[in-house]
Amino acid sequence: MKKIYIIIISFLFIYKVSYCQTQQGNFVVSGETNINLLFSNLDPRMESGSDNKVTSRDYSFDVRLGYFVIDHLAININALYQYSYYKKQLYQGSREEDIQTTLGLIPSLTYFFPVEGKLKPDVSLGAGYMALKERNNQVPTPDNVAYRYGGLSLNAGAGISLFLNKNISFDLNFQYSRNKLNDQIGNGSPQLQNIFGVMAGVSVYF
């Protein structure tokens, strides 16, 4: 009798642990969620003593957050902003300055298949907006804009998660992205991107 109780209790415990990560009301955050500010100074030195310093600033903000609206179905938001600036001394009195910015806002849905055990397969679909821009003072265009693209990004993915415990999973995902980015500075030439990726990472649930 005691054995049966232990089995039932352990079953309930294991079931609860393996089930509760993706239940309604929980949040999931990708381990890659981060905010970084980086200031760098690169000093190349020749043995002759001449030098050409490069100073740079990089800011990045990457948030990947999901909320389980019902059991196993999460609504996610992936927000990305990257700013990258460098200043390089070219020759006497002349310098190059360059700024690149990337912006992405991609809502998505992820469904976890409720299978038993610690492994759960999932599928994701997302659609959002992406924008890329570069300014360089060596480019002879109005406002020194080298390019400015913006447009729709469509994403589909499938993957599998290994739940280490109720808070952590290791993830392996296959993702396909199709982006159609329109040139916004004149000739209107669109840029079509087809991207296939295999990604591994961690996620946390709370």
Partner 1 sequence: MKRIMMMAIASICFFTASAQTEKGRFALSGNTDMSLMFAKTSIAVMDSTGDGKQNSRAFNANAGFAYFVANDLAVGITGSFQYTKMDADNAIGYLQNYTAGIIPSVTYFFPLKWNLKSNVSVGAGYAWYFASDLDAEGLSLNVAPGISWFVNRDISLDLGVQYTYSNLKTTSDLSGLTYRQQALGLLAGLSIYF
Residue numbers of the site for partner 1 (CB under 8 A)?
29-47, 164-165, 167-168, 187-202, 204, 206
Cα→Cα distances 103→82, 91, 148, 197, Å: 7, 33, 11, 19
Nearest to partner 1 of 1, 198 (CB atom): 198
- Please tell me the distance from the alpha carbon of residue 167 to that of residue 44, in angstroms, as a whole number: 46
In the bound state with partner 1, the residue whose beta carbon lies nearer, of 35 and 70, is 35
Least distance from partner 1 to the Cβ atom of residue 63, Å = 11
Minimum distance from residue 51 beta carbon to partner 1 (Å): 10
Long-range contacts of 97-102 (CB under 8 A, 24+ apart): 97/136, 97/137, 98/134, 98/135, 98/136, 98/137, 99/133, 99/134, 99/135, 99/136, 100/132, 100/133, 100/134, 101/131, 101/132, 101/133, 101/134, 102/130, 102/131, 102/132, 102/133
Nearer to partner 1, 41 or 92 (CB): 41
Minimum CB–partner distance for residue 165 and partner 1 (Å): 6
Pairing of strands 54-70, 145-163: unpaired
Q: Provide the minimum distance between the beta carbon of 40 and partner 1 in the complex, in angstroms, as a whole number.
A: 4
Rounded-to-integer distance, Cα 165 and Cα 19, Å: 10
Nearer to partner 1, 110 or 179 (CB): 179
Shortest Cβ 32–partner 1 spacing (Å): 6
Structure tokens, 40: 């760098």
